[in-house]
Structure 1
Amino acid sequence: MNHFFYIVVVTLLLSACGGQQTTRPAPPSPPAEQPDNSTGQPPTKAPSTPPAEVDTPGGYYMDDGPEANPPSNLDDIPDATPKEEPINPAAMRPYQALGETYVPMKSYAPFKQAGIASWYGKRFHGRKTSNGETYNMYAMTAAHPTLPLPSYVKVTNPKNGRTVIVRVNDRGPFKHSRIIDLSYAAAYKLRILDRGSAHVEIEAVNAASYAAQNKNATPVPKPVETTANPANSSSETVQNITTPFFVQVGAFKLEANANALRQKIQNLGIASSKDINHVYNSQLYRLKLGPYPSRSKASQIAADIKQRLNINSIIHTQ
């Protein structure tokens, strides 16, 4: 009896071990990956047939995203103005990124594309772009894998009809079939910041054609009425008719300071938002008012600013 009981126990133990060796537990569900503002959605394995493109809410990549106190006037930032520029030779060479090979365009040509756009912000603000320039998240720029650097594209958000023109001066994006990475400002104007990504349509802008089409759209200052003062010479009158004047009220290293002054000028009624230009060049944020049809009108504005804000302004013609 004891011998029989021993054989039964041994048999059961061997069967249990064999079951452990051959039984494969179900694989655990993969951990959810945090989406980012550059990709817009969690990465997924590519199926045999490409899925329909969708835009889903996204988060921020690592410590990227908006600054703590972004400017309040992002809608007033003008679109990039297309102009003819030579292509950067270094940006024409084929390159690899994340295991993929990209062959940039070596000349300007008609180009249209539809797909998912993402954006990048403070993590890259102040860093060098692929074109050797400094990335400014508040400028109207973008990154594209193959378009010439620099070049210009019109980006449309078909969901709301909003359109911007951006200057392509960087490479990317390289993940999840994104077709373009927009600057923070461009993404804001298209209203895709909160989602992190969105379906867009892009079209290359021919600089020469753009200049011709917008030639007549440039506002021309109204002629200044002549006064009864005989001291006004005819040459001065001609200059007042043809030359617009601007009043530069400040140049700041920090954009927040420029925005604060802009708000003061608007609150005081010295100039409306459409007459205040926010220009970024030479690493300074310059606040300019205008254009004004005459130097005398610009001088009046400058005097008003001096009296009410105790700021000395500069009058110039560009």
Structure 2
Amino acid sequence: MRRALIVLTAVAAVVLVPSLQPTTASAVPVAPLCTPDANRGGVPPGFLLDACADATSMTVRNDLDVPVLVRRSGDVGVPARVHERGSAEATVLGLLSDTDELLMPGDVVRWPLGAAAGTLTVVDLDPAVGGIVHALRDDLPPLGGEDSDPETFAAVAAVVQETAAAVADRQACAADKNFLQLAACDVLTASTVSRGVIGQLPRDRAAELLPTVLDPANWADWVAPRPTDMSAIGIARRTLTQAAVPSPVPPPEPDPAAVAPTPVSAAIPEPAVPVPAVPAPVAAAAPVPQPAAVPAARPAIPDWLAEILARLAAEKNGNGQRNGDGADNGDGDGNGNGRGNGRGHD
């Protein structure tokens, strides 16, 4: 009964508030995203999303019918959300988007550009994650409700992540299996999913989600290829790149012939420096005569030496005198036996 009331409430919301439903950008007229400037590359033809690029930013609108992720690289700053339709589904998907930016259908986001090159790449959600959240959208707490606290959305996001992993394991388990083996894979998947739901959510919230996440038909649908799967779209249609800011071109050098000659001012003569008068050479003075050499005085002879010298001189004189006498009174030659004269006398 409670599930029927929730379905009726959802139908009433669709009828009474149609503007809350996600719409594509092509369904209604939209304002221009920016004033295009192609100096850094612009938006390539055939880009997957509605986009606009100028000198300082890239702006993207998700005009598809499914949520997408946009991954930034290079000199691209933190995005600013220009327009979005908040919903419980978007809140859960945003918690599972890691560092990529989630764009629900109709969302507009702008990324600032630095001076270097920057790139935006459109990537798909994990097919199972997107399928599970979409299937649970009617069972999620509405935004602004009494139980729409961050802890509840974080618990639902954990359930979605664990269920997606279990469904992926089930797909690998069921490959090339017979009927009995496939049934065993289903039992293992159901057990894993049930433990995750009951362990993360309150009992009443878990009871609302279990019928959806335990349906084998849903498992097959969540892993089936989708027409809008990004992997089927070429990378060229999913990439928006802006080049680096070009370096300024220096102004051309002026033509030398066109440059007027610069007038040369007359040189100012330097003041004459007076040359100092050179005095007449002074006659050299006459050489001063050297004083006559004074004979050196004989050194005084000590008395004792003078006495000795006098004696020696006297003895010398005496010897000379005796030698003279000998010559006059000497003996004659011979042996003395002759009859000659003996000693002569004067």
TM-score above 0.5: no
Question: Which has the higher Rg, Structure 1 or Structure 2?
Answer: 2
Query: Per residue, is there more strand in 1 or in 2?
Result: 1
